[in-house]
Structure 1
Amino acid sequence: MEKNVMKYDCAIVGGGPAGLNAALVLGRAKRTVALLDSGKPRNRIAHESHGYLTRDRIKPGEFRKIAYEEVLYYPSVQHWQDEVVDIARTEDGFSIQLASGESVQARKLLLATGLREELPEIEGLEKFYGKTVFNCPFCDGWENRDRPLAVISSSPHIFHTVKLLYNWSKELYVCTNGKQSLDSEQIEEFKARGIQVFEAAVTKLTGQDGQLEQVHFADGTQISCRGGLIGPELINNSSSFAQSLGLETTEAGGIETSPFGKTTVEGVFAAGDSAYFMPAQLIHAASSGSKAAASILADLVEEEWEAAARN
Structure 2
Amino acid sequence: MKTFDFAVIGGSYAGMAAALQLARARRNVLVVDAAQRRNRFVDAVGGSSHGYLTQDGRAPAEIAADAREELMNYPSVEWLHGTADDAHVTSDGWLGFRVGSETVRAQHLIIATGVRDELPTVPGLVERWGRSVFHCPYCHGYEADAGPIGIIAASPLAQHHAIMLPDWGSPTLFLNGAYTPGAEELAAIARRGTQVEAARIARIDGFADVVLQDGRIFTMNALFTQPRTFLSSPIAEQLGCSLEDGPMGPFIKVDEFKATSVPNVFACGDAARMAGNVTLAVADGAMAGFGAHRSSMI
TM range (shorter): over 0.9
For residue 284 of structure 1, report the CA deviation from its aligned partner: 0.7
Secondary structure class of the residue paired with 1:273: helix
Using the alignment, how far apart are the partners of 2:203 and 2:96 within structure 1? 46
For residue 192 of structure 1, report the CA deviation from its aligned partner: 4.2
Using the alignment, how far apart are the partners of 2:60 and 2:192 within structure 1? 36
* Unmatched 5+ stretches in structure 1: 303-311
Secondary structure class of the residue paired with 2:211: strand
The percentage of aligned residue pairs carrying the same residue is 32
Q: Give 1:96's aligned residue.
A: 97
Using the alignment, how far apart are the partners of 2:214 and 2:87 within structure 1? 49
CA offset digits 1:104-161 (Å, max 9, x no partner): 1101111111111112222222443212221110001111131101000222211122
106-115 vs 47-56, which deviates more?
47-56
Using the alignment, how far apart are the partners of 1:68 and 1:242 within structure 2? 24
Using the alignment, how far apart are the partners of 1:25 and 1:181 within structure 2? 47
Q: Give 1:184's aligned residue.
A: 183
Q: Give 1:225's aligned residue.
A: 220
1:245 aligns with 2:239: yes
Larger Rg over CA atoms? 1
Q: Give 2:171's aligned residue.
A: 172
Secondary structure class of the residue paired with 1:42: coil
CA contact (8 A) 2:135 2:227 kept: yes
Using the alignment, how far apart are the partners of 2:277 and 2:191 within structure 1? 32
Q: Give 1:28's aligned residue.
A: 24
Q: Give 2:62's aligned residue.
A: 62
Using the alignment, how far apart are the partners of 1:76 and 1:147 within structure 2? 49
Using the alignment, how far apart are the partners of 2:278 and 2:32 within structure 1? 19
188-197 vs 254-263, which deviates more?
188-197
Question: Which of 37, 41, 44 is the aligned partner of 2:40?
Answer: 44
Using the alignment, how far apart are the partners of 1:38 and 1:274 within structure 2? 15
For residue 193 of structure 1, report the CA deviation from its aligned partner: 4.3
- State the TM-score, normalized to the length of structure 1: 0.89
Structure 1 residue runs of 4+, over 4 Å off?
none
CA offset digits 1:201-227 (Å, max 9, x no partner): 3220111xxx22x21223444323222
- For the aligned residue pairs, the C-alpha RMSD in angstroms reads 1.6
Using the alignment, how far apart are the partners of 2:223 and 2:279 within structure 1? 24
Alpha-carbon distance change, 181 to 14 in structure 1, aligned in 2, over 3 angstroms: farther
**How many residues align structurally?**
290
Using the alignment, how far apart are the partners of 1:110 and 1:194 within structure 2? 44
CA contact (8 A) 2:40 2:60 kept: yes
